[in-house]
Amino acid sequence: MAITTKEVLICLHRMAEVLEANREYLTSLDAAIGDADHGINMDRGFKAVLAKLPSVEDKDAGTILKTVGVALVSTVGGAGGPLYGTAFMQAGMAVAGKYELEPQDVLAALDAALKGVVMRGKANLGDKTMVDAITPAVNAMRSALENGADLAEALEHAVAAAEQGMKDTIPMLARKGRASYLGERSIGHQDPGATSSYLIIKVMADVARELKAESKN
């Protein structure tokens, strides 16, 4: 099963809906260990993304994802915007010129997104950031594909790993970003960025599962 650019666009619209629906939740997580803006940032960023999509809807997946990245970098302040912006720009470079994405392309895009976040933010695993949700997701997706899973199955594994990675941030001490200013007081709270990353990966898994179900009918 390959993903067409039309389906990439569906995914992006769905991400915008989910981030809007989780705006208060993400902001409340950020209120505990940051400055209470993560949900606002993500919602604003993806609204800007939606405004840009019509101009690239006939383009390849790489151009679409790069456009998403640029929209996020230019509309979202703080750490989240540049980090997610870099993630989407790098994902776009990984699939430059492609109109159909095979499972390996989706993995390459997710892996490039992670590498972009790490390149820009320099966070290590265990620093209580989005890296703690995305890293296990990439690893789980890679091994699922190696073991013969299809895209929908591999993304199910990715989302389960991202969810676990998100929950695993709760006992961590923050070492990057605003939460790190709190030191020990950051312990006991779930990281907002790890949570938005889980939500974004969950949209990918949901869309892949729906496409698989449709293709069977």
Report the residue closest to Mg ion, judged by CB: 34
State the helix-helix crossing angle for 23-33 and 38-52, rounded to 10 degrees: 140
Rule CB under 5 A: say whether 35 interacts with Mg ion.
yes
**Collapsed DSSP state (helix, strand, coil) of residue 34:** coil
Count of residues engaged in binding ligand ADP, rule: CB under 6 A: 24
Residue 202 interacting entry, from Mg ion, ligand ADP, none, C-beta within 5 to 8 Å by type: none
Six-digit token pair at 91?
């994902």
Q: Which stretch binds ligand ADP (CB under 6 A): 52-60, 79-87, 155-163, 198-206?
A: 79-87
Q: Which stretch binds Mg ion (CB under 5 A): 25-33, 47-55, 164-172, 183-191?
A: 25-33
Rule CB under 5 A: say whether 168 interacts with Mg ion.
no
Q: Work out the angle at residue 195's Cα, subtended by the Cα atoms of residues 194 and 200, and round it to the nearest 5 degrees.
A: 95
What beta strand segments (E) does 75-160 contain? Answer: 100-101
Six-digit token pair at 175?
């070492």
Q: Contact, 203 vs 14, CB < 8 A?
A: yes
Q: Which stretch binds ligand ADP (CB under 6 A): 85-93, 149-157, 192-200, 207-215?
A: 192-200
Is the Cβ of residue 2 or residue 78 nearer to ligand ADP in the bound state? Answer: 78
Rule CB under 6 A: say whether 103 interacts with ligand ADP.
no
Cα 68 to Cα 124: distance, rounded to the nearest angstrom: 25
Q: Contact, 87 vs 123, CB < 8 A?
A: no
Instruction: Give 147's contacts (C-beta < 8 A, 6+ positions apart).
Output: none
Binding Mg ion (rule: CB under 5 A), the pick from 3, 15, 29, 37 is 37
Is the Cβ of residue 44 or residue 98 nearer to ligand ADP in the bound state? Answer: 44
**Collapsed DSSP state (helix, strand, coil) of residue 174:** coil
Q: Which stretch binds ligand ADP (CB under 6 A): 11-19, 98-106, 145-153, 171-179?
A: 171-179
Residues at the interface with ligand ADP (CB under 6 A): 30, 34-35, 37-38, 41, 78-80, 83, 117, 121-123, 129-131, 176-178, 191-194
